[in-house]
Amino acid sequence: MRHKSFSRRGVGLKSHAQLQHSELLLVPRLQNLDGEQWPTPHDLYTALGNQEFVLFYQPEIELATHRIVGVEALIRWRHPQRGLIGPAAFIPLAEECGLILEIGRWGLGEACRQIRAWKVMDPSLGRLRVCVNLSTREFAKEDICDYIGELLDEHSLDAMQLGVEVTETSLMTNIITASGVLNRLREMGVALLMDDFGTGYSSLNYLQSFCFDVLKIDRSFVNRMTEGNNAEKIVQVIIELARVLNMEVIAEGIETMEQYKSLTRLGCRYGQGFLLARPLPVDEVTQLLQLPGKILPETSFAYDHAPLRGIA
Ligand code: C2E
Ligand code: MG
Ligand code: MG
């Protein structure tokens, strides 16, 4: 991972003009120059009040046609001095201190408002699926379903336009509540995506117990699949598993043309990754959604030589 503009002990403060969306800070937690941990729960609370959180959207692409079939909403913190902060630096803390419930609600609300805005702009975008990541704690409270139901009503959305991404780890933490939440979301028609598939402990058990619409192959497999090791075989098996279980499959983290070609050869239908499109601010992703047929030109791909790592 390439880190820009800070050292692990000190974060250089940047001026507003220097804050670019391409310079995402992707570190677990930072320290101030005085060695204090940053951020604190109070910082998160203030950020929420000051509306400093934003959603970026990363396109999900049909590999054969380059058509955008959906987008994943990914939270960033646009800090007035420190720049754009990635979720790894604050989501774990938000989980720990409970603020994730507020942040998560904000994210769901913002995503639904955006789906409505896209639909008003272009009715054909009414079929675009927007996926939101749900954290362990959000998932452990059944009232999340009521809240999602209210948002769908408020913005006059079809439930199928919203997808929720959950990981095996968050399922595992409170399986009874999680199972109730998943079943209810399913009855409501919300799309269910299993995120980071293959990295948890009992993937097959969860696939047996819950009906997911989509499996997202974790990027650690995609990343290593062209290195001549077992990763490619694992990817192949996951694609086959999804096929027999009647699920869509999305490969995460496609960074090179070689990975793209291998995935296509293995019959993987959908993918997401820096090669195809990075997570983008709303105005930039809106421009992509307005391309004829929502088809990305191959000339827009970031080829292998591009400096990809650590930047979103
Ligand atoms: P995730 O849901 O698995 O999201 C995919 C992550 O992979 C994103 O990181 C995205 O920027 C990154 N990514 C996409 N393509 C590539 C690629 O080609 N190469 C590499 N190296 N990375 C790629 P991001 O945005 O930093 O998010 C990290 C995680 O934070 C997410 O993983 C998700 O678990 C969590 N997260 C993001 N937004 C939210 C949110 O609104 N709520 C909650 N609860 N969690 C969130
Ligand atoms: Mg995700
Ligand atoms: Mg993932």
Q: Tell me the three-class secondary structure of the chain, residue by residue.
A: CCCCCECCCCECCCCHHHCCCCCEECCCCEECCCCCEECCHHHHHHHHHCCCEEEEEEEEEECCCCEEEEEEEEEEEEECCCEEECHHHCHHHHHHHCCHHHHHHHHHHHHHHHHHHHHHHCHHHHHCEEEEECCHHHHCCCHHHHHHHHHHHHCCCCHHHEEEEEEHHHHHHCHHHHHHHHHHHHHHCCEEEEEEECCCCCHHHHHHHCCCCEEEECHHHHHHCCCCCCHHHHHHHHHHHHHHCCCEEEECCCCCHHHHHHHHHCCCCEECECCCECCECHHHHHHHHCCHHHECCHHHCCCCCCCCCCCC
Please determine, for residue 6, whether its predicted confidence score (pLDDT) is greater than 80: no
Q: How far is the CA of 163 from the centre of ligand 2 (A)?
A: 10
pLDDT tens digits, residue range 19-42? Answer: 344 456 555 566 666 677 889 999
Mean pLDDT value of segment 51-72: 97
- C-beta of 59 in contact with ligand 1 (< 6 A): no
Q: What is the pLDDT of residue 27?
A: 57
- C-beta of 270 in contact with ligand 1 (< 6 A): no
- C-beta of 91 in contact with ligand 1 (< 6 A): yes
Mean pLDDT value of segment 138-145: 86
Please determine, for residue 15, whether its predicted confidence score (pLDDT) is greater than 60: no
Q: Percentage of the chain surpassing pLDDT 70? A: 85
Could you tell which of 25, 27, 53, 74 is best to mutate to test the pocket of ligand 1, judged by most ligand atoms within 8 Å of the CB?
74
Q: What is the pLDDT of residue 105?
A: 96
Q: What is the pLDDT of residue 300?
A: 85
- C-beta of 185 in contact with ligand 1 (< 6 A): no
**Ligand 1 atom closest to the CA of 167, numbered from 1:** 34
- C-beta of 273 in contact with ligand 1 (< 6 A): yes
More confident residue, 31 or 254: 254
Q: What is the pLDDT of residue 28?
A: 59
- C-beta of 271 in contact with ligand 1 (< 6 A): no
Say what the pTM is. 0.90
Name the superfamily (CATH) of residues 55-73+123-300: EAL domain (3.20.20.450)
Mean pLDDT value across the chain: 86
Q: What is the pLDDT of residue 34?
A: 67
pLDDT tens digits, residue range 144-163? Answer: 999 999 999 999 999 999 99
Q: How far is the CA of 74 from the centre of ligand 1 (A)?
A: 6
